[in-house]
């Protein structure tokens, strides 16, 4: 297996395990759309997931988060321009409330995948593609030996 791809897959896996642990501890996760929520469920995240697009406005979303009465919420918006904007806005807003915005997982995923991944809903297929590339590069390496 390609060392670079192997390390990337390992980091993504570790990050998703940490995310699942935080979710299981009761920290809600905010995503943009229903497909993002479905993806996280497919990755075995069992905690509360708040879908931003089902809200009528930014204020409705922020109010819902505040009403939860939690100390922290994980922001996991898409990596496109709109997702970045919502992440910034929510972070600024929540920093003024008693809810801590957690952007660690968003930042780490963005740093790991850069332009390769635009949204959360593509995460599972992205991981499968990385695994396939890793197997293919391993086959090429073995055939050269």
Contact 28, 68 (CB under 8 A): yes
CATH class of 3-144: alpha beta
Tens-level pLDDT at each residue, the chain (145 residues): 457 888 888 999 999 999 999 999 999 999 999 999 999 999 989 999 999 988 778 888 988 998 999 999 999 999 999 999 999 999 999 999 889 999 999 999 999 887 788 899 999 888 888 888 777 655 444 433 3
In angstroms, the CA 61 to CA 31 distance is: 11
In angstroms, the CA 30 to CA 39 distance is: 13
Q: CA dist 64 to 2, 60, 84, 101, 121, Å? A: 44, 6, 20, 14, 23
Residues shown for the chain: 145
Contact 133, 106 (CB under 8 A): no
* DSSP codes joined into one string, 75-91: E---SSHHHHHHHHHHH
Q: Are strands 100-102 and 72-75 parallel, antiparallel or unpaired?
A: parallel
- pTM of this structure: 0.87
Q: CA dist 47 to 29, 62, 87, 103, 112, Å? A: 8, 19, 20, 17, 24
């Amino acid at each position: 297996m390609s060392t670079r791809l192997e390390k990337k897959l390992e980091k993504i896996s570790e990050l998703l395990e940490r995310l699942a642990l935080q979710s299981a501890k009761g920290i809600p996760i905010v995503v943009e759309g229903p497909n993002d929520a479905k993806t996280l469920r497919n990755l075995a995240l069992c905690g509360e997931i708040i879908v931003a697009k089902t809200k009528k406005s930014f204020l409705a979303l922020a109010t819902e988060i505040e009403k939860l009465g939690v100390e922290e919420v994980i922001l996991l918006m898409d990596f496109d321009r709109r997702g970045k904007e919502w992440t910034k806005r929510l972070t600024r807003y929540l920093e003024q409330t008693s809810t801590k915005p957690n952007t660690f997982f968003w930042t780490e995923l963005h740093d790991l995948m850069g332009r390769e991944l635009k949204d959360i809903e593509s995460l599972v297929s992205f991981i499968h593609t990385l695994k396939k590339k890793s197997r293919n590069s391993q086959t090429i390496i073995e055939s050269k030996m």
